[in-house]
Amino acid sequence: MVDVNPQRLSGTERAAVLLLAIGEQDAAEVLKHMGPKEVQKLGSAMASLSSVSRAEVGVVLEEFVGAVENQTALGVGSDDYIRNVLMRALGEEKAGGVIDRILLGRNSKGLESMKWMDPRAVAEVIQLEHPQIIAIVLSYLDCDHAADVLSFLPERIRADVLVRIATLDGIQPNALRELDEIMEKQFQGTSNVKSSSVGGVKTAAEILNFVDGGIETTIMDQIAELDADLGQEIQDKMFVFDNLAEVDDRGVQSLLREVSSESLIVALKGADETVKEKIFKNMSKRASEMLRDDLEAKGPVRLSDVETAQKEILAIARRMADAGDLALGGKGAEQYVG
């Protein structure tokens, strides 16, 4: 359990305290307006909070009241408020897709419902559709969810779908209407849709970041055969295990606290020496020596096991990056200026 200090609460933890303070009924009403990822994140934060003092709750409530007082009443200008908040919180690039989903895609019920579905179920619904429709669906899902769906799709169409995601440049209203008609048949969705800017090379790369190593390699080889330049663009945007060498020391130290020793040993068996030295450098002398000994004693490890362990660690790194606890390196990373 986490002891709460209002001076070091993250935004998610503050939101969790607020929901715990307002009561079950009101908290449930708030959660109804959130997506699956946000609900899961807030639910985990709520479950992890303990021993919250009255003073700590007071600080969170005061900040919330102050924020609400600055909003326009009755929802007038609320879209601008949401847009500005998201831009400041996430930056222009990340906020763009979120804004589209909240402000432009809020009436697309059928598509939205797929975010809550099991990946295998989503794959079963869309696998017989045109690859362009599949690409739109995967672009709309969170990247880790989309990667799971992709793994359940027939192998023969995976590369084609990724190419279409990478080359998406916005979605025309007629395409979304077609998609919503498909969803309506499955979930009784509506056809009141607007255009949205999803997809692109970065989306394709982020989806591939979450795909299992063997599947990722096959798809990338197929994409390279279809379009070598596009394949290189996607590769350049991907964050791979070797890019951990470019994460700052504090970030690596934070990451190591979240990774199991066994996963780290297996992952490092196939890692570049630069990455290994980066890891050793950010451990205590004793822990570093023990890890070196464990690596030597481990013996040969199957490449598939190495790839799986590396994917697990990369998933943790991306989750920490999304929470603002880690700045990823690599060509596809966010760039910062002073």
Hey, how many other C-beta atoms are within 10 angstroms of the C-beta on 179? 25
Q: Nearest-CA neighbor of 15 among 102, 34, 106, 25?
A: 34
CA-to-CA dists, residue 16 to 64, 102, 211, angstroms: 12, 21, 31
Given this chain, do its domains 2-70 and 109-237 carry the same CATH topology?
yes
- Which CATH code of 1.20.1250.20, 3.10.620.30, 2.30.110.10, 1.10.220.30 fits the domain covering 241-322? 1.10.220.30
Burial 93-109 (b: 16+ CB within 10 A, else e): eebbbbbbbbbbbeebb
pLDDT at 85: 62
Averages of pLDDT over each 10 residues, the chain, 338 residues = 53 79 77 73 75 71 67 51 62 58 51 76 84 86 87 91 85 67 56 51 80 80 87 80 86 89 89 90 90 88 85 84 70 40
- The pair of three-digit structure tokens given for residue 294, joined into one six-digit string: 């464990």
- The pair of three-digit structure tokens given for residue 242, joined into one six-digit string: 């070797």
Q: Nearest-CA neighbor of 200 among 229, 227, 166, 230?
A: 166
User: What's the topology of domain 109-237?
Assistant: Annexin V; domain 1 (1.10.220)
Residue type, 199: G
Is residue 219 within 8 Å of residue 292, measured between CB atoms?
A: no
pLDDT at 68: 60
Give how far the C-alpha of residue 177 lies from the chain's centroid of Cα atoms, to the nearest Å.
Answer: 26
> Which class in CATH covers the domain with range 2-70?
mainly alpha
What is the sign of the dihedral through the CA atoms of 226, 232, 238 and 244? positive
pLDDT at 198: 59
Residue type, 43: G
What are the residue ranges spanned by the domains of the chain? Answer: 2-70, 109-237, 241-322
- The pair of three-digit structure tokens given for residue 315, joined into one six-digit string: 């998933």
